[in-house]
Chain A
């Protein structure tokens, strides 16, 4: 094999030769540096998640590409495999991210991902992709990937952490028999004993809580939430000991709603990614997913007999699936706006739904038709609950809590809160309804005397410190001497850079040919890539000079 350096020098002009040599020297140097361990898929996953997974995930999969798992990356999308093990330079994943090929990713004139992240992708593909961790044995389909079971661990009930300042109540549940109230707090689940009217403690919970629910038998408290647009957590706690029964991580988003089947075998959750996922509580493996929702999944609930699973979306879609198989069972049309809340009559024959369209609808699940509907809260119904005694309670944007007969007759106005009421639960034991509103007010409304009383949430005493608000001084226009226009970048500077860029591009072409001729010599490939990177950096630099100051606004379009 001839020395590529001499060949390159002989075919390019002298000005560029120095540059090429410099690049090759750089390539050699890094080659000699001690081999670093191949990046783990966890690191890669973090990079992909930050830049790519928003569009390329199991649910959305633009270009039919899902970048959430090793297998799905290898499977690729419409353009074939996204990565070829050991060959980053042949892997679209790397080439598009490095802007070596069109379409450049991320799309839409967004900048290239940071060099550090790019290098990580490169090295991971180079190291062989799957070899860093063994592929899953059962070769699961793409839906089965995101969940990962966590071993049960003990959670100590702690004393409630005072909440810094009033915040909307986003989740609320009442235990079917004991009168324990679970309610969302700041990074915690607050537990309150409705019988003795005392706070009994708190379970720490990382992230925002979006839903709380007790299982039908009262043995499990299901909590769901996470960090919006980042990650979700679905956790089951054993009631009483408050140990973790199961914990499932969902890497797409924080779910908005979740439910556990009456047998405690299945757990279902859904949220802004429009998908309902159903997993087994035993090992957290995804059993199936439901994709009929056309907007955020707002609410879902298993039927009391465990046969069906109903879910509603933000577009007004209401769907029912068979709980064991995930097969579509019915689509119930009627709601014009977001379905906010869902519940079943204990005999499983009637489904009740609430919607932003202001109505409550009851559905005959034998005939699969609408039984009745009525305007419950004209500005929007946000919460609904049914209990075994035939009580139907609702709450809405009009700040009211109301109870109804099953044919839509108003039984009672149970109280008016301070703001829109998003959460509601029935405490059958004490014949009352508990509500939580946007202003953070938690209240119990007795069905006996129709009196309401607030439940004081433990609050921090100090008034919140407002963050400082400095007003930065603006930048000024540079003052130019009228006779000598200021030239920050001289033309000769640009010309020099252009000549260098042309030289380095020529060098890259030659190196590519050389590498193609000697496919077994990895050093050539590496050198080629490094030249490419240098060229990209120079291009970016030149672009910056040419277009500076650039109007990055891009808001002129309409």
Chain B
């Protein structure tokens, strides 16, 4: 293994420059030497020949005199890394319809030609089409002026894009309302902001250039293109856009993926906008770039990405109302040989594919003890008994792990865990005057449906178009939990499509694809839900009114129902809008549903989703492993959303069965599942496990004696332990409602609270065990109960020293208390 250099290397990248000492410097020199020597043989065999060269975009169309197109010449190395070699490539256009400088194609004459790109003895060709190269320049407000304002940051939330504006001037946030921005710039105040007779003395120009006092300072330079665009537009009369002016319809970002072989490298990003008239433009210089992990890679305002340290980053590009991005991988830059880790199933293959890209090695398989404890907690919410442990450890069947998984999945508990999760997703709780009767009926209904084997898609179909009284048809309760169409739409999007659209209620989402049109189109599905009080005043009747519409707040027009990220469906007269929604929700046309389902299930077994947070999939927060998520989604749909079958696949994978211990390559990575993640047990499961090992019960309101914490209905726990350990109050649809982060009160409660001490006392476990076995065997039994393993030799010696032979009970109970307070008990690992 050549992992000796890894450790100091990682330590160094973490360290800020200030902290470096000469010692580090010496280390670094040695490292470079090691790296160079180990690279020598590789270089000799690879030589300097690209394994493949790529030109992006693959065709170039220039429309009008100002249209340009930037090109990215990508060199794909043998090791899968990419290099931007645009600056070293040679360009030629024949016939000469266009010229190329700095990888920027400019029109010369109308016509068609071919751009040839030469690099390292390879030549590639892409077609070039030029039209309107000598047409007069005409600037649009939305397509030319507004991008200048957005790029300069004028309409951000902390500047003029704030709801109240800034210093008396308001713009729409990131330009979601071009017509309103045009109005405010030109006509809101008669002559203050622009001067048509003398454009260069317009306040707009003076402020942006910092010529006069401006809170935002100088935004661009005198004589810059941005300055010239404002002047040109003002000089031409600050005209509003024609009705038929082209509108941007989408953006493309090149390259979609960059894999840096080491730090200190650069890639250029080119952004192309496509317009409604079929034309396209290079809008890189008016695109706002934002990176999400500066320690791996940063992006300059011009779109140059620089790698800094090993890791992943996502570079978000925003232009007009569109967001897209480039995913960036930065490798550590040290030699890497892909390990031949055996895959248990397709999940492992897809995980390793990604790990190889990152140059990360997976951790080894966990021991039988660890596996049994882990899988019991995850599939049953309980710890394995010592009898189960003995049986499993003695079993010599090579398929014994599979057998355990199947046995656990067949138990009722796994579905109870799933019902608890569904209860959180549906916010099953008493709210908006929901009576206890309604709540219990609703909880019972959900429990019955799942235990009867109803797949999630069918369950939702019934729920989302439910009609009638909340008592007579408990599914109706979903519409009592939230009653506003907007919040219903937000919740459905967040919980079942895994995306948060809340931002788009007031403005286009700045970091995602959602626009206000999407938001109100989706909310419109719930615009015809009617309510009335039933005969029993505690009961609410929900029905389809057949009338009612959502109105767009910007243009005040009615918005037709539109699938989120999908089409505007055709709706028959009199049809319940919700039925139309259900038709699409879990269908093949909506892959987001299956992806979200798979992600939620996955996160149960790893403590984090492939998209994390699970309900916040965004353009700017993509899946850490899209191929894996898609495969799981495909399987989910095939399994008809049967959670047990998907859980089985996951538990069978080697990825799930890895140890939590790290190796030098995966120590800093939690996103790519190169090891298991240490997870604190959820509040409900933890309490059940404490009850299990102490042989006690807890009284829960609404449950019979002996009921389990995972079955508690509603959002009110009425139990101090559950509240302290972060049981979800189910007050919002957010996955963040379940908390597993440690707090001081949790530690204090375990140390001093009644749960541990009282339960040890009332359960009399030690006393009972002592009647049957020797004190040291009791200690071993307690270890197996709590940790799923026997004490080590060292631990046994330490325990033996502390247990007095005459009265072992108090000492053993103290040890039991200590076990319950330890991290090894509280965590699933």
- Residue in chain A with minimal CB distance to B305: A477
Shortest Cβ gap from B232 to chain A (Å): 5
Q: In this assembly, does B190 line the interface, its C-beta being within 8 Å of a C-beta of chain A?
A: yes
Which residues of A are found within 8 Å of B302, using beta-carbon distances? 474-475
Which residues of B are found within 8 Å of A555, using beta-carbon distances? 153, 156, 288, 290
Question: Is the beta-carbon distance between A53 and B25 smaller than 8 angstroms?
Answer: no
Q: By DSSP majority rule, is chain A's interface helix, strand, loop, or mixed? A: loop
Q: Which of A126-178 contact B (CB under 8 A)?
A: 163-170
The CB with the most chain B CB atoms within 10 A, among A164, A479, A554, A557, is that of A479
Question: Is the beta-carbon distance between B25 and A495 smaller than 8 angstroms?
Answer: yes
Known contacts A495-B25, A498-B17; decide if A422 and B207 are in contact (CB<8 Å): no
Q: In this assembly, does B796 line the interface, its C-beta being within 8 Å of a C-beta of chain A?
A: no
Which residues of A are found within 8 Å of B511, using beta-carbon distances? 556, 558
Shortest Cβ gap from B255 to chain A (Å): 11
Per-position 1/0 for B168-205, Cβ under 8 A of A: 10000000000000000011011111011110010100
Question: Is the beta-carbon distance between A296 and B168 smaller than 8 angstroms?
Answer: yes
Q: In this assembly, does B763 line the interface, its C-beta being within 8 Å of a C-beta of chain A?
A: no
- Residue in chain A with minimal CB distance to B289: A553
Expressed in whole angstroms, the Cα–Cα distance for A272 and B291 within the complex equals 37
Q: Which of A41-80 contact B (CB under 8 A)?
A: 49-50, 53-55
Question: Is the beta-carbon distance between B232 and A467 smaller than 8 angstroms?
Answer: yes
Which residues of B are found within 8 Å of A550, using beta-carbon distances? 298
Neighbour of B195 across the interface among A167, A468, A551, CB < 8 A = A167
Q: In this assembly, does B128 line the interface, its C-beta being within 8 Å of a C-beta of chain A?
A: no
Per-position 1/0 for A96-135, Cβ under 8 A of B: 0000000000100010000000000000000000000000
Question: Is the beta-carbon distance between B265 and A469 smaller than 8 angstroms?
Answer: no
Which residues of B are found within 8 Å of A528, using beta-carbon distances? none
Neighbour of B196 across the interface among A167, A468, A472, CB < 8 A = A167
- Residue in chain B with minimal CB distance to A209: B191
Q: In this assembly, does A187 line the interface, its C-beta being within 8 Å of a C-beta of chain B?
A: yes
Expressed in whole angstroms, the Cα–Cα distance for A478 and B17 within the complex equals 23
Which residues of B are found within 8 Å of A553, using beta-carbon distances? 153, 288-290, 301
Neighbour of B231 across the interface among A54, A467, A498, CB < 8 A = A467
Question: Is the beta-carbon distance between B157 and A557 smaller than 8 angstroms?
Answer: yes
Which residues of B are found within 8 Å of A480, using beta-carbon distances? 83, 264-266
Which residues of B are found within 8 Å of A473, using beta-carbon distances? 101-102, 104
Question: Is the beta-carbon distance between B213 and A479 smaller than 8 angstroms?
Answer: no
Question: Is the beta-carbon distance between A549 and B190 smaller than 8 angstroms?
Answer: no
Expressed in whole angstroms, the Cα–Cα distance for A494 and B18 within the complex equals 9
Question: Is the beta-carbon distance between A467 and B153 smaller than 8 angstroms?
Answer: no
Q: In this assembly, does B39 line the interface, its C-beta being within 8 Å of a C-beta of chain A?
A: yes
Neighbour of A438 across the interface among B102, B190, B288, CB < 8 A = B190
Shortest Cβ gap from A423 to chain B (Å): 7
Question: Is the beta-carbon distance between A228 and B235 smaller than 8 angstroms?
Answer: no
Expressed in whole angstroms, the Cα–Cα distance for A485 and B331 within the complex equals 12
- Residue in chain A with minimal CB distance to B299: A551
Q: In this assembly, does A365 line the interface, its C-beta being within 8 Å of a C-beta of chain B?
A: no
Question: Is the beta-carbon distance between A208 and B195 smaller than 8 angstroms?
Answer: yes
Shortest Cβ gap from A526 to chain B (Å): 29
Expressed in whole angstroms, the Cα–Cα distance for A469 and B235 within the complex equals 12
Which residues of B are found within 8 Å of A163, using beta-carbon distances? 197
Q: In this assembly, does A196 line the interface, its C-beta being within 8 Å of a C-beta of chain B?
A: no
Which residues of B are found within 8 Å of A49, using beta-carbon distances? 213
Expressed in whole angstroms, the Cα–Cα distance for A470 and B225 within the complex equals 7
Which residues of B are found within 8 Å of A406, using beta-carbon distances? none
Which residues of B are found within 8 Å of A296, using beta-carbon distances? 168
Which residues of A are found within 8 Å of B263, using beta-carbon distances? 485
Which residues of B are found within 8 Å of A470, using beta-carbon distances? 225, 228
Shortest Cβ gap from A197 to chain B (Å): 23
Which residues of A are found within 8 Å of B301, using beta-carbon distances? 551-553
Per-position 1/0 for A519-558, Cβ under 8 A of B: 0000000000000000000000010001001111111111
Q: In this assembly, does B648 line the interface, its C-beta being within 8 Å of a C-beta of chain A?
A: no
Q: In this assembly, does B698 line the interface, its C-beta being within 8 Å of a C-beta of chain A?
A: no
Q: In this assembly, does B70 line the interface, its C-beta being within 8 Å of a C-beta of chain A?
A: yes
Q: In this assembly, does A210 line the interface, its C-beta being within 8 Å of a C-beta of chain B?
A: yes
> Total interface residues on A, using CB and 8 Å?
79
Expressed in whole angstroms, the Cα–Cα distance for A468 and B294 within the complex equals 38
Question: Is the beta-carbon distance between B68 and A471 smaller than 8 angstroms?
Answer: yes
Which residues of B are found within 8 Å of A54, using beta-carbon distances? 213-215
Neighbour of B197 across the interface among A186, A382, A397, CB < 8 A = A186
Expressed in whole angstroms, the Cα–Cα distance for A187 and B191 within the complex equals 13
Q: In this assembly, does A345 line the interface, its C-beta being within 8 Å of a C-beta of chain B?
A: no
Q: In this assembly, does A184 line the interface, its C-beta being within 8 Å of a C-beta of chain B?
A: yes
Per-position 1/0 for B254-265, Cβ under 8 A of A: 000000011111
Q: In this assembly, does A456 line the interface, its C-beta being within 8 Å of a C-beta of chain B?
A: no
- Residue in chain B with minimal CB distance to A314: B168
Per-position 1/0 for B272-310, Cβ under 8 A of A: 000000000000110011110010001111111110000
Which residues of B are found within 8 Å of A482, using beta-carbon distances? 77, 81, 83, 261
- Residue in chain B with minimal CB distance to A556: B290
**Chain B contact patch, size range:** 35 or more
Q: In this assembly, does B752 line the interface, its C-beta being within 8 Å of a C-beta of chain A?
A: no
Which residues of B are found within 8 Å of A184, using beta-carbon distances? 191
Question: Is the beta-carbon distance between B81 and A549 smaller than 8 angstroms?
Answer: no
Which residues of B are found within 8 Å of A479, using beta-carbon distances? 83-88
Question: Is the beta-carbon distance between A50 and B213 smaller than 8 angstroms?
Answer: yes
Q: In this assembly, does A476 line the interface, its C-beta being within 8 Å of a C-beta of chain B?
A: yes
- Residue in chain B with minimal CB distance to A460: B197
Known contacts A471-B106, A474-B102; decide if A486 and B265 are in contact (CB<8 Å): yes
Q: Which of B399-419 contact A (CB under 8 A)?
A: none
Expressed in whole angstroms, the Cα–Cα distance for A152 and B737 within the complex equals 73
Shortest Cβ gap from B67 to chain A (Å): 9
Which residues of B are found within 8 Å of A552, using beta-carbon distances? 301
Neighbour of B300 across the interface among A187, A549, A556, CB < 8 A = A549
Expressed in whole angstroms, the Cα–Cα distance for A558 and B39 within the complex equals 45
Expressed in whole angstroms, the Cα–Cα distance for A53 and B214 within the complex equals 10
Question: Is the beta-carbon distance between A228 and B156 smaller than 8 angstroms?
Answer: no
Which residues of A are found within 8 Å of B289, using beta-carbon distances? 551, 553
Which residues of B are found within 8 Å of A397, using beta-carbon distances? 187
Q: In this assembly, does B548 line the interface, its C-beta being within 8 Å of a C-beta of chain A?
A: no
Known contacts A477-B304, A482-B261; decide if A423 and B157 are in contact (CB<8 Å): no
Neighbour of A558 across the interface among B157, B189, B265, CB < 8 A = B157
Expressed in whole angstroms, the Cα–Cα distance for A382 and B187 within the complex equals 11
Question: Is the beta-carbon distance between B68 and A229 smaller than 8 angstroms?
Answer: no
Q: In this assembly, does B66 line the interface, its C-beta being within 8 Å of a C-beta of chain A?
A: yes
Shortest Cβ gap from A161 to chain B (Å): 10
Which residues of A are found within 8 Å of B207, using beta-carbon distances? 228-229
Which residues of A are found within 8 Å of B68, using beta-carbon distances? 471
Q: In this assembly, does A240 line the interface, its C-beta being within 8 Å of a C-beta of chain B?
A: no
Q: In this assembly, does A492 line the interface, its C-beta being within 8 Å of a C-beta of chain B?
A: yes
Question: Is the beta-carbon distance between A476 and B86 smaller than 8 angstroms?
Answer: yes
Expressed in whole angstroms, the Cα–Cα distance for A373 and B735 within the complex equals 53
Question: Is the beta-carbon distance between A485 and B333 smaller than 8 angstroms?
Answer: yes
Question: Is the beta-carbon distance between A471 and B25 smaller than 8 angstroms?
Answer: no
Q: Which of B124-156 contact A (CB under 8 A)?
A: 137, 139, 153, 156
Q: In this assembly, does B22 line the interface, its C-beta being within 8 Å of a C-beta of chain A?
A: yes
Question: Is the beta-carbon distance between B212 and A230 smaller than 8 angstroms?
Answer: yes
User: Considering the complex of A and B, which 6 residue pairs feature the smallest CB-CB distances, nearest first?
Assistant: A170-B191, A167-B197, A422-B190, A477-B266, A228-B203, A473-B102
List, sorted by A's number, 8 A–B pairs whose CB atoms are closer than 8 Å: A168-B191, A168-B196, A438-B186, A472-B224, A476-B86, A495-B20, A554-B153, A556-B290
Taking Cβ atoms with an 8 Å cutoff, the residues of A that contact B are 49-50, 53-55, 106, 110, 163-170, 184, 186-187, 208-210, 227-230, 254, 256, 272, 295-296, 314, 382, 397, 419-420, 422-423, 438, 440, 464-480, 482-483, 485-488, 491-492, 494-495, 498, 542, 546, 549-558
Taking Cβ atoms with an 8 Å cutoff, the residues of B that contact A are 16-18, 20, 22, 25, 28, 36, 39, 43, 66, 68, 70, 77, 81, 83-88, 101-104, 106, 137, 139, 153, 156-158, 168, 186-187, 189-193, 195-198, 201, 203, 206-207, 211-215, 217, 224-225, 228-229, 231-232, 235-237, 261-268, 284-285, 288-291, 294, 298-306, 333, 503, 510-511
Task: For the A-B complex with A168-B190, A553-B290 known, give 6 more contacts whose Cβ atoms are closer than 8 Å.
Answer: A438-B187, A469-B228, A469-B232, A471-B225, A478-B266, A483-B39
